[in-house]
A and B are shown apart, each in its own frame.
Chain A
Amino acid sequence: LFFILFIVVVSARTYADFTPQASFDIKKCDVHKLEEGPPLQAVLTREEGLQYYRTMQTIRRMELKADQLYKQKIIRGFCHLYDGQEACAVGIEAGINLSDHLITAYRAHGYTLTRGGTVREIMAELTGRRGGIAKGKGGSMHMYTKHFYGGNGIVGAQVPLGAGVALACKYLGKNELCVCLYGDGAANQGQIFETYNMASLWKLPCIFICENNKYGMGTSVERAAASTDYYKRGDFIPGLRVDGMDVLCVREATKLAAEHCRSGKGPILMELQTYRYHGHSMSDPGISYRTRDEIQEVRSKSDPISMLKDRMLSNNMASVEELKEIDVEVRKEIEDAAQFATTDPEPPLDDLCNHIFYNDPPMEVRGTNPWTKLKSIS
């Protein structure tokens, strides 16, 4: 009886201690052809805070583990890491529903997670194993889940695709929208302007989001764009410029954008000002075109996870121990996933020619020589 009483008393004490929700000031967004930006305050509940913290930390740790595995040559090819930009993926998802749609470019591991992928299947895809989210056939840049269309390797090509998804949303009348992401480097692509035009003409429910991390590979925005006001580049499309390091700012802006789309007003454009700690990819040390000081300054002053942590702690929304425990759990999840990703077998050679066509009878595929006839199943 005493034991039961003890548990009840301890639990009651834990929950009574914390603030269930608090209101935070968020940076004002610059607006373009919009009457009003998002509110200047955002309400965060304890549950939301813990969830955003956990997800951002998971992305952070997953990306750092990928860095490690790449240096050990267990991951090969291209690997574009997202650490530093976590508030974007998490904030966007917080402003939409899983029934909405999302497409991005190749810096996609974070989105694969927020859109429903597991760390295990993401890591196993990076290591090219059969347990990978694309059975090892896609790799870093080609991961897919429900209502998440990758992972796209050709810079800018994903933008018309995203508008096409939005067209399907409108056509099918399900009140869904498509979030369509691209970087500051891609923002100068012609096909993006073609897409702005058609999305506007046809009032497609599309949120265009430019993740401006200040560098397109090794080229700073000033050297690539005649106008670096990416949120204005949609011209006739209303736009907002958002602090992409603040998960709450991203969330509130996304909510506003989603409301705009769902009310039938057509597309809207968001520029998220963010930063990547890693270079463009694992083959880029990332310090030839920017200083270590710059990277360090962002880390110490604007890190998205630290910002959320400080907010929650200083408002008594969580305890240091609690957050540490989440860190431990996340670390374990990543370790387990890495273990799986390094021990799961590679795809069977039988799978080589599969998945050429969908819903087709089995067919023959020519091997490397005329005598080798391989089998392909849908």
Chain B
Amino acid sequence: MTAPVPCDICIINSILLLQVTVRDALNQAMDEELERDERVFLLGEEVAQYDGAYKVSRGLWKKYGDKRIIDTPITEMGFAGIAVGAAMAGLRPICEFMTFNFSMQAIDQVINSAAKTYYMSAGLQSVPIVFRGPNGASAGVAAQHSQCFAAWYGHCPGLKVVSPWSAEDARGLLKSAIRDDNPVVFLENELMYGVPFEMSEEVQSKDFLIPIGKAKIERQGTHITLVSHSRMVSLCLDAAAVLAKEGIECEVINMRTIRPLDAEAIETSIMKTNHLVTVEGGWPQFGIGAEILARIMEGPAFNYLDSPAVRVTGVDIPMPYAKILEDNSVPQIKDIIFSIKKTLNV
């Protein structure tokens, strides 16, 4: 954690603004929740003595010890199942997947053992568990380590699926996820871990929670609605900054939660702007944008669209390795700007 940045503009009610990285926000959230509730514990590969493969759990094992921070062997199906069983029997596990690519090995436990159980038991058996880890494209890790699982998990009833963007998101949503009595899939992003964000005093408080299921408008606008999640929110804001110079004002919505999807926030925005572009890192077919567009078609906002809504997505291919190829496999700012201008017919 860096020292507070002196901020001339923001001395309002002596608010103390800190610069906090997403990684540190996640770390602090877990630390505080471990302290708050003895039943909370963390398990996963390298989470304890290695301080976390991406250092998200740094310092926790030293503070809480073997009982609460557990290193597992490389056996996802087994340890995910163990985590779910522990949740069924009264604990509140945080199950880390080193990346969500590895969660595919354990996906049966996430869906069939965790997500469906409360329903199948007609309310007799709840499963208060958080599955967290980095999701989606990274940098140079190639096809097997770059998949986005937002659409796969977002498909399933019984799960809550959360995708934070900023440090504030990471903190408030992870706390909410840990305190939630249901299975929550928490999709982080490796490229965001090191990015610092300003964090107000209010956000720093121990009981700061962001409700699951509510999107946030990161930038107000009037000409077009951009809907995005995770790292792509940064790109949308960058695109919006460029277009503002040309007199195009974009409203940027940070979804924060994939499931349940805050369709109302999107609809309200479209009723104001009359245009929609969704932006995601994952593949196009049957993806996040596909769901949003379908819902808009079916809902009250359709009549407010002045042109068809479109999606900006990752390219429909396995992720290549070479930098030039990888760069062209995911949305860039220029792709977002291009799609906005086509939609606005400018």
Contacts and interface: CB of A to CB of B under 8 A. Distances in A.
Interface string A161-205: 111111111011000001000000000001100110110011000
A104 to B, nearest CB: 13
Given A164-B83, A355-B118, A356-B118, A194 B77 contact: yes
Given A153-B112, A359-B181, A162 B85 contact: yes
Interface in A342-377: 351, 354-360, 363, 365, 370
Interface string B176-192: 00000110000000000
Contacts of A208: none
Interface in B66-94: 67, 70, 72-73, 75, 77-91
Interface in B273-329: 298-299
A172 B299 CA distance: 49
B209 to A, nearest CB: 14
Interface in A125-183: 134-138, 142, 144-145, 149-150, 152-154, 157, 159-169, 171-172, 178
Interface stretch (B46-54, B119-127, B198-206): B119-127
B75 A197 contact: yes
A120 interface: no
Contact of A169 (B82, B89, B113, B128): B89
A25 B264 CA distance: 72
A348 to B, nearest CB: 12
A324 B269 CA distance: 75
Contact of B120 (A142, A165, A169): A142
Contacts of B88: 149, 161, 164-165, 168
Given A154-B112, A164-B86, A137 B78 contact: no
A169 B86 CA distance: 9
A378 interface: yes
Contacts of B91: 167-168, 171-172
B85 A137 contact: no
A138 B120 contact: yes
Nearest to B158: A356
A363 B260 contact: yes
A289 B88 CA distance: 38
Nearest to A359: B181
Contacts of B90: 168, 172
B182 A358 contact: yes
A101 interface: yes
Interface residues of B, number: 44
Nearest to A360: B182
A149 B125 contact: yes
A171 B86 contact: yes
Nearest to B160: A357
Given A134-B121, A142-B120, A171-B67, A195 B89 contact: no
B41 interface: yes
B4 interface: no
B27 interface: no
Contact of A191 (B72, B77, B112, B181): B77
A161 B116 CA distance: 14
Given A101-B89, A171-B91, A160 B77 contact: yes
A356 B126 CA distance: 10
B103 interface: no
B292 to A, nearest CB: 14
Contacts of A357: 118, 158, 160, 181-182
A256 B149 CA distance: 46
A167 B73 CA distance: 15
Given A149-B88, A165-B85, A168-B89, 15 more contacts: A137-B119, A142-B121, A150-B117, A152-B113, A160-B109, A161-B88, A164-B87, A165-B86, A165-B88, A167-B89, A191-B75, A191-B81, A194-B78, A198-B75, A198-B78
10 residue pairs, one from A and one from B, having the closest CB atoms: A164-B85, A160-B81, A194-B78, A168-B89, A370-B298, A135-B122, A161-B85, A194-B75, A358-B126, A164-B82
9 contacts: A160-B80, A190-B77, A194-B78, A198-B73, A202-B70, A355-B118, A355-B119, A359-B181, A359-B182
Interface of A: 101, 103, 134-138, 142, 144-145, 149-150, 152-154, 157, 159-169, 171-172, 178, 190-191, 194-195, 197-198, 201-202, 351, 354-360, 363, 365, 370, 378
